[in-house]
Amino acid sequence: MTVRVAVTGATGRMGEEVLAAASDRDDIDVAFAVSRSAGDEIEGVLVEDAADLPDLLAAHDPDVLVDFTGPASCVEYAAACAESGVAFVSGTTGLSDGGFDALRDAADEVPVLYASNFSRGIAALRRAVREAVPALDGYDIELTETHHNAKRDAPSGTALTLLEDIDDVRGDSPRVHGREGEAPRTEDEIGVHARRAGDIAGEHEVLLAGNHESLSLTHRAGSRGVFAAGALDAAAWLSGRDAGWYDFTEVLE
């Protein structure tokens, strides 16, 4: 069955990737696309004004909306979907606690699936981290993430998710963001480092070191298309489900 998808942020890096990925799939049909910068045509889809989203949702009645925008826009679009009865998939990062609360409010009305990363490789990395950390009890942990020079939020949403995974299995640990000057390491801290350079799609490394050995768990995304494909997989899976909060791991399982 073909799933009709609306795409927000269509002229952004990820929006363009989602439209490109959708054009190659038989199970996805783009109902419409919007952006704050309307008027362009991408992959044969006219990009309309995001300010008209509520009217477009009513007129086109898509099954799912896929969102990669900014925190404020994400919350706005989730509310519009809740009002229109349209399922909502988002990979927007940088959300505050209030932003997540707003998405969970939308999940009372429609199915909502949020993920900081839609890569299958990252899902495997998360599983590996959750197994390695308790197996190497007491080892020092450092997390490094690298992204393109236009990424605004730091650390990345994926890095924050990995830190939550570590805390879940080891207990909450203080986080030290970078080091400068005299900065000796405390026993249970987690060092967090964010790098921004070039057009790197995304790299994440979790380093565990102790007992005269080290273990490095690393994921590198060669293209943003990886994330777009995962988001469309999530959209196809979410379509037709009951209202509620869903996770990308459920799609993979």
Instruction: State how beta strands 41-42 and 45-49 pair.
Output: antiparallel
Following CA atoms 83, 85, 90, 92 in sequence, which dihedral angle do they give, to the nearest 10 degrees?
-10
Contact 239, 29 (CB under 8 A): no
Following CA atoms 38, 151, 239, 76 in sequence, which dihedral angle do they give, to the nearest 10 degrees?
-60
- Taking the chain (253 residues) in runs of 10, the rounded mean pLDDT of each run is 96 95 96 91 94 97 97 98 98 94 98 95 95 96 96 94 96 92 91 96 97 97 94 97 96 90
The token pair that represents 49 in the structure block: 């004004």
In sequence order, the 6+-apart residues with CB closer than 8 A to the CB of 228 are: 14, 17, 18, 20, 21, 118
Residue 235, helix vs strand vs coil: helix
**60 belongs to the catalytic site:** no
Residue 205 Cα distances to 55, 72, 94, 145, 169, angstroms: 43, 29, 20, 6, 18
Residue 56, helix vs strand vs coil: helix
Q: What's the angle, vertex CA 89, arms to CA 86 and CA 45, rounded to 5?
A: 75
Residue-wise burial string across 147-180, b where 16 or more C-beta atoms lie within 10 A, e elsewhere: beeebebbbbbbbbbbbebbeeebeeeeeeeeee
Q: What are phi and psi of 80, to 5 degrees?
A: -65, -40
Contact 54, 83 (CB under 8 A): yes
Instruction: For CA atoms 164, 170, 175, 181, give the dihedral sign.
Output: negative
Q: Which helix (H) or strand (E) holds 126?
A: helix 120-135
Of these residues, 60, 147, 177, 193, which one is catalytic?
147
- At residue 9, the pLDDT reads 96
- At residue 65, the pLDDT reads 98
The token pair that represents 253 in the structure block: 């399982």
**193 belongs to the catalytic site:** no
Of these residues, 60, 148, 151, 193, which one is catalytic?
151
- At residue 17, the pLDDT reads 96
Number of CB atoms found within 10 A of residue 142's CB: 18
In sequence order, the 6+-apart residues with CB closer than 8 A to the CB of 156 are: 93, 116, 145, 147, 194, 202, 204
